[in-house]
Amino acid sequence: MKYMLLATGIALTALLIWQADSQEFLTSLLMAKPEWLVAAFTLQLLTVTMISWQWKLLGHHIHSGCRFHQMVHINMSGTFFESVTPAMKTGGEVVKAYLLKRAFGWTTVQSVALVGLQKVVSIGPLLFLVGVSLSLYLLTNGISTPQGWLVATSGMILLPVFLLICAVFIAPAGLAVWLEKVFPAKWVHTLSQSLHSLENALSQVKKRGNLGRHFLLSVTLWFLFPAKAAIIALSMGLEADLINIATVTFLAYMVAMIPLTPGGLGTFEATVVFLLLPLEIAMHQSMAFAIILRLVTFWLPFLISALYLLAHWGLGHARVPARTPSP
């Protein structure tokens, strides 16, 4: 099934390139200045490093022995698997939880709690930025347009997920109690325990006054995403202001979160092209922009993670870095 979805994503991307006129598309690709692309690549490497650092900082609230290199390994593995699974990154998060157990000797509850804690501090700022982007786009283009309909519909599809994330952040223990009342205990036992553990971890973060710092780090990480898009747009000479570029980038990310293809392959590119149409940017230019942006933000991390795991396996160290004794 996943190979069929992957083939669908590749076919959709190929169809878009064909529709955009391959010769003009290649010309637009070659217009991108190499030095600007190097800057975008550098920002992506900085993003990967900062994410691992964020995991290390959050991990200290559950286990004081977390090491940066261990979190790099865990995130590399997670990046690889979330890139090949069409499930809103849950494939990567499951792998991270499993590797956290192996690395630190944690229980499933502790591992899931850290994954949940990172998602709370990461998705919270994203929800705000996506909400602002959605509002700006609909105010500018209206909901009756095809683009407005796509944005509004995608937002409605993802709304239950967003509300669930908000509930996890506001009252994880309360959500656990509700789940225990609605579903049989054997179905939600581990999840319920993880939510209680998440509540404790959030309390520790708040007591130490670090919640604001973690949110600020997440906001910085999310702003690096449209920053890379802006650099690519400038390198290609696209006639679009930075606010429109940022808005389209966040909305395309939102649509790509709907689990249709692995890593949103094809759906992200198609959404970028579609949302840029009202800005009167030629299709071959918008397609080239979308492909380069995906190269920087998706294919580069995927390639790095694949090479890392291949090297790790080849060196005979396929296991997670040595387990840190529990305090």
In sequence order, the 6+-apart residues with CB closer than 8 A to the CB of 92 are: 78, 79, 80, 81, 82, 83, 85
What pLDDT, on the 0 to 100 scale, is given for residue 14?
Answer: 58
Give per-residue pLDDT as tens, 122-177. 888 888 899 899 999 998 888 888 888 888 888 888 888 778 777 777 777 788 88
Residue 9 pLDDT > 60: no
pLDDT at residue number 327: 44
Return the pLDDT at 217: 92
- Place 202 in a pLDDT band, splitting at 50, 70 and 90: confident
Contact criterion met (CB below 8 Å) for 237 and 31: yes
- CA 285 to each of CA 12, 41, 70, 235: distance values in angstroms, whole numbers, following the listed order: 17, 20, 41, 12
Overall average pLDDT of the 259-284 stretch: 81
Residue 4 has pLDDT above 60, yes or no: no
Is residue 1 scored above 90 in pLDDT? no
- The number of beta carbons lying within 10 Å of the beta carbon of residue 216 is 12
- Split at pLDDT 50, 70, 90, the class of 316 is low
pLDDT per position as a tens digit, 58-93: 888 777 677 888 899 999 988 888 777 655 555 578
| Bigger pLDDT: 302 vs 107 | 302
pLDDT at 179: 80
pTM of the predicted model as reported, rounded to 2 decimal places: 0.81
Is residue 212 within 8 A of residue 118, CB to CB? The reply is no
pLDDT in tens, 105-115: 888 878 888 88
Q: Contact 233/296 with Cβ under 8 angstroms?
A: no
Residue 318's pLDDT band (boundaries 50, 70, 90)?
A: very low
**Over the stretch 28-50, which tens digit does the pLDDT of each residue have?**
888 888 899 999 999 999 999 99
Q: Which residue has the tokens 């006054």?
A: 209
Mean per-residue pLDDT, 197-216: 78
Determine the longest span between alpha carbons in the chain, in angstroms: 61
Q: Is it the case that residue 7 has pLDDT exceeding 80?
A: no
In whole angstroms, what is the distance from residue 266 CA to residue 271 CA? 8
Cα 218 to Cα 146: distance, rounded to the nearest angstrom: 32
Position 323 pLDDT exceeds 90: no
pLDDT surpasses 60 at 97: yes
